[in-house]
Amino acid sequence: MTGTQERNGRAGSAVRRQQLEMAAGGAAVLDISDVEALRNGRSPEARAQVAAKLGRQFDALSRSGERDIAQAVLLLLVRDVEKEVRRSLSEAVSRSVELPAEVARRLARDDIEVARPVLERSPVLADEDLEDIVRTNAMQYALAVAARERLSELVGDALVETGHQPVVARVVGNAGAQLSGRALQRVLDDFQADREVRSRLVRRPELPYELVEQLVEAVGAQLEWELLRDGRVSRDAAENLMRAVRERSTIDLVAREHGERGVVAHLRERFLAGDLAHEDLLGFLRDGEVARLEIGLALHVDMPVAQLRKLLYQSDRRHLAALCVRAGFATPHYLMLRMALDLAEETVGKGERNGGYAPDTLRFLQSQYERLRADPAQVAALLGLPAPAS
């Protein structure tokens, strides 16, 4: 090597080290002295400091000419007899994308104090690694996995299958966790009476249709009544509606009044004139005029009243949702109608309902309704109508 080449090499090395120091926030770059210090058995505190130093620079070192030093320090630290040193290492490299997978797996199966940072954050652990750890280790390992920002369905289902309440509550409440329909059904079956799990389940925005009514039926009677908060339905209007329904203890949900023909003609005239808005239909219910509600809704849906009545009072409230979609109801109007009918039915059949829907349940129902609005084929199927042309 010529003198010029040697000088250029030293200059290039100095530039690389300067770049590494900048990446490490100005800290000294890991070097061979750190390897020697570890081999000579310095105190656990000093070794833990080397671990933190390595973590700040590991990815940058692994992509540079210092890769061999980084690997040597890593292997010494991962085999350290002191748990505190291994814990410091795990914390330091938990987000590393260059960490060798075999090292990540070793740390993930160490004592939980060591394993937790890697289980919660490491991007190099495969789904199969995580699933196996969940199935073969104590609950604390599963809890750490459940806290990951993203979880595949494979891992999410494995967490549910542990059956441990803290694990299930954490994974159900993790918006980044994918869960199969089978796993969600198991959660509902096994933890229906668990307030924490139940409240987190309600918050999940993508529950399958078939779970919606099971969940509302399971939790509705136990949740405190609170009102919509999107500003399109005032608190006073909602309270008046709910009070009117409660007080009408003789409300007849299958109202079959004599002289209904005159009501039909009158409401059709208003409908054709554009004078029968959704707010008017809610007003009919508020005033106890159930037959007018039914007839007005049938006009909006373009369906015979007798057929509408069969769908309107089905225990499966998806039929009510489909009617409201076809009628063009905004989400708040659907929610108001649904809650009023639920309370009215309980007033007649079982006595006054204690409370109503909590905010989380309202958001849950809103999400389901808006999904149904985007699914014309499902609406048609629920109403017994031909599928729309694609």
Instruction: Give pLDDT tens digits along the chain (390 positions).
Output: 454 444 444 444 444 444 444 444 444 566 666 666 666 666 788 788 778 778 778 888 888 777 787 788 888 888 888 999 899 999 999 999 999 999 999 999 999 999 999 999 999 999 999 999 999 999 999 999 999 999 999 999 999 999 999 999 999 989 899 999 899 999 988 998 887 887 788 667 666 656 766 665 555 433 333 333 333 335 555 455 445 444 432 333 334 444 577 888 899 999 999 999 988 888 887 776 778 888 999 999 999 988 888 888 777 788 999 999 999 998 888 888 887 777 655 544 444 444 455 666 667 777 888 888 888 888 888 888 888 876
Could you tell me which residues come within 8 angstroms of residue 265 by beta carbon, excluding any fewer than 6 positions away?
A: none
Q: What is the CA angle 123-126-129, rounded to 5?
A: 120
Per-residue confidence (pLDDT) for residue 347, from 0 to 100: 45
3-state secondary structure 351-373: CCCCCCCCHHHHHHHHHHHHHHH
- What are the domain boundaries of the chain? 1-124, 126-204, 235-383
Q: How far is CA 34 from CA 13, 18, 29, 143, 163, in A?
A: 18, 18, 10, 35, 46
Q: What pTM was computed for the model?
A: 0.55
Predicted pLDDT at 36: 65
> What does the alpha-carbon distance between residue 384 and residue 29 come to, in Å, rounded to a whole number?
71
Residue 123 CB coordination number (10 Å):
13
- Whether 339 contacts 230, CB under 8 Å: no
Q: What is the pLDDT of residue 89?
A: 92
pLDDT for position 60: 81
Radius of gyration of the chain (CA): 32
The number of angstroms, rounded, from the C-alpha of 142 to the middle of its chain's C-alpha atoms is: 18
pLDDT of residue 30: 65
Closest CA to 345 of 257, 221, 228: 221
102: exposed, middle or buried (Cβ count in 10 Å: 0-12, 13-18, 19+) = exposed
